[in-house]
Chains A and B, each alone.
Chain A
Amino acid sequence: MNRLTPEQLAAGVQDLPSLPAVVMELLSSIEQEDIDISVLAKKVSYDQALTAKTLRLANSSTYGLQVKVTTIQQAITFLGFQTTRNLITAAAITGCFPSGRCAGFHDKGFWRHSIATAACARALARRMRFNQDIAFTAGLLHDIGRLVLVTGHPDAYTQVVAWHAQHGGDWQDAEQAILGIDHVDAGVALADHWNFSSTMRQAIAYHHAPDVHGAGFLAAIVHVANAIVHALDLAGEDDELVPRVSSVAWDAMVLNEEAYLHLFRETELQFGEMSTILMA
């Protein structure tokens, strides 16, 4: 039996690699405007790998800067604090989980899907006049619970992968069948442990169920972005599968076909560039 109790899940979360302290600070303050930017910029600069990755992202064509930024402080000046914070977070999170721990789990495919969903959620949010930076981070983190399960319980997750290969369908079904919990539970546990803002927590909790009362608009954005990225086949998985799209979430986007075709193109372009930087 591989059933995970809530206590085991919590213990798995405790054992996760920790993010640099400054990134934890950024994640928990994502909706705060009044934090001391210069102190944060300085703290990030102490981490050279993180700084280098963040600056490469800032200089990517996604942000269309006319000058190359060479310091975190400069990035904040040109891109704004919100966007820079967002890039630092992305650079830190994509590098913090060990890969190759669980047979049959494709770390690369996981990150390709997450980065593409982040790019798509950001592009959708812009059209919805929703905060693009929050949408990007929510897209990047929506399935993070899968990594929690894979990292904390690699052997049990190997069985989830086997069940999924045999039965097909959604990962949630496979996880529930083997573990008794799924990646949404694990994602929420991580959100609590890492002190994510409540908006971010809601988006992780309801990205498969955006119709639930109180799920929030961000969950709807992430839900639609997730489906689009599956449909665009960007993760490079043979068994790629588009989940059922919530009509409530789709309706909330009020975009016409032309807008969606532009969105697809933008998602593909930005995904190409960002995945090269983040998965280097």
Chain B
Amino acid sequence: MSGPFHLTPLAEIRPGMVLSDVVRDGKGNVLLAHGVVLTESMLASLARHGIDMLPIVQAEPAPPPLDPVAVQGRLDHIFRKHDRDDLGDWATGILRRYVEDYRLQREVSQ
């Protein structure tokens, strides 16, 4: 086991979260190793095994609250060579939008 963890109900677990300990079924067989980054399919499979709680690695001391203005400012600096109006440079534009969504934790519509 490593670092602080939080026993989290399966329903609240999202893909990308990290297991802090090994997960076993009722017979003691290892289902997943500690440190595994959980995926959608693993979560579905765990639900089928009747598992309803998992030890999830807790983000080390809660990250400071997001300052959207500072984050956007830093991103604009990193992307200073990119011109949003340059449609020929659309690939950089898409990367920029994705990284903004990621850093600013925007909801992503599918």
Contacts and interface: CB of A to CB of B under 8 A. Distances in A.
A37 interface: no
Interface of A: 60-61, 64-66, 169, 227-228, 230-233, 240-247, 249-251, 256-258, 260-262, 264-266, 269
Contacts, number: 83
Contacts of B35: 60-61, 64
Contacts of A231: 78-79, 95-96, 99
A265 B82 CA distance: 23
Contact of B91 (A250, A257, A266): A250
Given A231-B78, A243-B81, A257-B101, A266 B92 contact: no
Q: Which 7 A-B pairs have the closest CB atoms?
A: A61-B35, A250-B91, A245-B91, A247-B91, A245-B92, A66-B33, A231-B99
Interface string B99-110: 101100000101
Interface in B33-79: 33-37, 74, 77-79
Chain A contact residues, majority secondary structure:
helix
B78 A230 contact: yes
A65 B33 CA distance: 7
Given A61-B36, A258-B110, A233 B79 contact: no
A61 B21 CA distance: 11
Nearest to A240: B78
B80 A61 contact: no
Among A169, A228, A231, find the residue whose CB has the most chain B CB atoms closer than 10 A.
A231
Contacts of A243: 81
B16 interface: yes
Interface string B14-35: 0110100010000000101111
A250 B91 CA distance: 6
Contacts of A66: 22, 30, 33
Nearest to B81: A241
Contacts of A230: 78
B78 A242 contact: yes
Contacts of A169: 81
B90 A247 contact: yes
A228 B95 contact: yes
A65 B34 CA distance: 8
